Structure 1
Amino acid sequence: MWRLVPPVLIVFGIIGNVCTICVLLRSPKRLTSISLYLLVLACSDTVFLLNAPLRQWIRFVWSYDIRDQNNVLCKLSAYLTYATYHFSAWILVAVTMERVCAVLWPHRFKSMCTPKTSAVIIGVIFTGIVSLNAHVLYVVQLNDQLGVAQKSRCQVLNTAYEFFTTIWNWINFSAAFIIPFCLLFIGNIVIINGLRKSHKLQKRMSAVTSRANANQSSVTFVLILLSLLFFISQTPTIYFLYYPYHMKAKRQLPCDKYAQFIREEDTIWLIYTVTSLVSYINATLNSAIYIVSGRRLRGEILRMLRCQQSTGRALGESNPLSLYDVSEQAS
């Protein structure tokens, strides 16, 4: 699986992310707050795809690990894997919370959620993620004391191994999945409830207000799909919490249990492989969902491929005031 699946994920993911980035940067002055989040998300996913799955694929095809070449690559590759993984999850949380603001405070949305506000939030998330993962640059390093017969390997320091496989494992999982999962789950409930109320009032809308509400529903639908993809692809990573204990139990098997040892090793490797590959799908399909669901973005991509001028319309734009206007009409 490591030989076949990663190239597909990498190629499709990078094509989708690059198309999204190029289209959004065609009109940088017309970037909306949501477009800015999606632009940053596409960049983060691209870095992740060029690091984690690409490294593993090269490892299994050519038996060459980029992390084992020198200490800089060892530290940088490990750091970027964790940092981009966390960063993408929290950007998705940020853009979902923006939609929550559009539902809860539609009349104040335009003043609250501006591109400048989004840039500040992205900066705060970036600073937090950089700080959270800073220790990786210290505890992961090239071990060149394995003996003459063995090559140097990128490993966690022996003094930090216990921390890395227990405490950090929980911190990493909480930052990458548990906390984002809870926030996305609550946020999507609020958003779906707001859409349900909006659709009930749709019959009393004018044609203009209906179109505005349809725009909002379209953008919100994309974000719900992105959240659903996150839930599906990241939930299996719960296994990584058990992985160190599973490995420890395997190593403690007595010598006369060799057949069981081999079975356990095969089971661990299969679960680890499937879980890892499924988790990579998130970075591959984020932009694909946005492209497939966004009619305006698809149109801009076609114009770009045909070397035609952009329409100049802001992508990801919606009118959150529509829900507020309808509520006012109904009262």
Structure 2
Amino acid sequence: MIFTKILMPLLFVFGVGANLSALYMLKRQWKKIQQHIVSHTLVHLAVSDIIYLSVLGVMSWEQLTGKIISPYLCKPKFFFDVLSQHVSAWLIVTMSHERYQAMNNPYAYNSTYQTKNAIALVFVWISGLVVSAPIGVFTAAIEEPYPDLGIRTTANTSVLHCGSTWNPVWKSVYFSSLAVMECLLPVSLMVFFYIGVFKNFLRQIRNPRSALAHINQNRLSAVLGLIVVSFIVSYGPFYISQMVNEFHLFANHQVAVIYMTVVFQILTYVNSCLSPILYSGFTKKFMLIRDLADSSPPGANYPVVTPCDDDDDNEEHKVAFVPSTSRLSCEVSNKNECTGA
């Protein structure tokens, strides 16, 4: 299709450029934001998106030339395709969990939590390698007759493409498992965590002083929430169409299903292009990297609660920011008033 031949290379160039720019901005602010676990997660997410878009670059070249670049690229192409999808999904889950912890359980949001999340990032990549291994093994260059899609073709009646070599039953089981592990389960966790974040936000509305004191964290949660929504909108239809195509649910409309699958897959590439824009330069007001720098205290990334002090003029113990609003303020007496702002 001419549409994909033009759009896919453009998405590849724009997406890789956007993610490299995001990495550059993260590097410039790294001394200020390195204490925040979200900063490390964003680096991993940008790398994952670059890998995914690199696969798109290979596919774009194959679209332009009308043939696969090399039979030897079949295995790594599909392997890294599945790996990047798995890693991106679970990285967004870890960011959603971080927001849930920071906004609802501030006392658990300490250096121990940071260490656990660092381990989680490593586990995300290891699990991705394990999940992607089968498709890397059972994929090879296959020569088959050109699919009859009602499209006029050249004199060649066969085409060399990358396809699966395993049993159709196991193939269906594998792709069904991918839909659960890379879409259904991650999306369920994202929604669960962000319901908790939203409930915390509603509690803040009832306390204007608290909401004002935590405006940076609210913006940070809002931008990460947009990343979550972008993932769900992009990957949800893609995996649904994959299942429809895999189990031949609409056999009488196979051509339409194939075209819809291509469109929904393009949405996943759009997501990889959009994410770095959201967290690196969405707007000046909602620039997540800046908010990370503002909400990361030097030396550690855990909440500091201001103790009650009879001397209201003593500013040394007051902190500029507390990462959560879950009842962090001290009890107010008739004579003095303590706040975390």
Report the CA distance shift for 1:36/1:49 in structure 2 as closer, same or farther (over 3 A).
same
Report the CA distance shift for 1:179/1:145 in structure 2 as closer, same or farther (over 3 A).
closer
User: Matched residues, percent identical?
Assistant: 19
Q: Kindly report which structure 2 residues correspond to 1:32-111, keeping only aligned pairs within 5 A, or say none.
A: 32-51=36-55, 53-66=56-69, 69-71=70-72, 73-111=73-111
Report the CA distance shift for 1:45/1:222 in structure 2 as closer, same or farther (over 3 A).
same
1:190 pairs with 2:196: yes
Report the CA distance shift for 1:247/1:186 in structure 2 as closer, same or farther (over 3 A).
closer
Q: For residues 252-296 of structure 1, what are the alpha-carbon distances to aligned partners after superposition, in whole Å with 9 as ceiling and x for unaligned?
A: xxxxxxxxxxxx343133212211111222111111111234648
What residue number does 1:174 align with? 180
Tell me how far apart the structure 2 counterparts of residues 316 and 274 of structure 1 sit (CA, whole Å). 39
Structure in which a larger fraction of residues adopt helix: 1
Q: For residues 36-87 of structure 1, what are the alpha-carbon distances to aligned partners after superposition, in whole Å with 9 as ceiling and x for unaligned?
A: 1011101100110111x32332222221323xx133x211111000010110
Choose the corresponding residue for 1:155, options 160, 163, 168.
Answer: 163
Report the CA distance shift for 1:42/1:296 in structure 2 as closer, same or farther (over 3 A).
farther
Tell me how far apart the structure 1 counterparts of residues 97 and 170 of structure 2 sit (CA, whole Å). 33
Q: Kindly report which structure 2 residues correspond to 1:216-295, keeping only aligned pairs within 5 A, or say none.
A: 216-237=217-238, 238-246=240-248, 249=251, 264-293=253-282, 295=284
Report the CA distance shift for 1:38/1:88 in structure 2 as closer, same or farther (over 3 A).
same
Task: Extract unaligned runs of 5+ from structure 2.
Answer: 146-156, 298-320, 334-341
1:22 pairs with 2:21: no
Tell me how far apart the structure 2 counterparts of residues 119 and 223 of structure 1 sit (CA, whole Å). 18
Higher relative contact order (Cα pairs below 8 Å, separated by 6+ residues): 1
User: Aligned to 1:89, what secondary structure does the other structure show?
Assistant: helix
1:140 pairs with 2:139: yes
Report the CA distance shift for 1:330/1:265 in structure 2 as closer, same or farther (over 3 A).
farther
Tell me how far apart the structure 1 counterparts of residues 294 and 120 of structure 2 sit (CA, whole Å). 20
Tell me how far apart the structure 1 counterparts of residues 243 and 101 of structure 2 sit (CA, whole Å). 34
What residue number does 1:131 align with? 130
User: Which region of structure 1 is more displaced relative to structure 2, 91-100 or 278-287?
Assistant: 278-287
User: Aligned to 2:58, what secondary structure does the other structure show?
Assistant: helix
What residue number does 2:302 align with? none
Preserved contact between residue 103 and residue 320 of structure 1 (Cα < 8 Å) = no
Greater C-alpha radius of gyration? 2
Report the CA distance shift for 1:150/1:315 in structure 2 as closer, same or farther (over 3 A).
farther
Task: Extract unaligned runs of 5+ from structure 1.
Answer: 251-263, 301-310
Q: For residues 7-32 of structure 1, what are the alpha-carbon distances to aligned partners after superposition, in whole Å with 9 as ceiling and x for unaligned?
A: 33223322221111112123545412
Preserved contact between residue 15 and residue 272 of structure 2 (Cα < 8 Å) = yes
Shift of 1:244: 2.3
User: Aligned to 1:121, what secondary structure does the other structure show?
Assistant: helix
Preserved contact between residue 246 and residue 268 of structure 1 (Cα < 8 Å) = no
User: Aligned to 1:141, what secondary structure does the other structure show?
Assistant: strand
- Corresponding letter in the other structure for 1:118: N
- Corresponding letter in the other structure for 1:35: S
Tell me how far apart the structure 1 counterparts of residues 142 and 61 of structure 2 sit (CA, whole Å). 21
- Corresponding letter in the other structure for 1:140: T
User: Aligned to 2:12, what secondary structure does the other structure show?
Assistant: helix
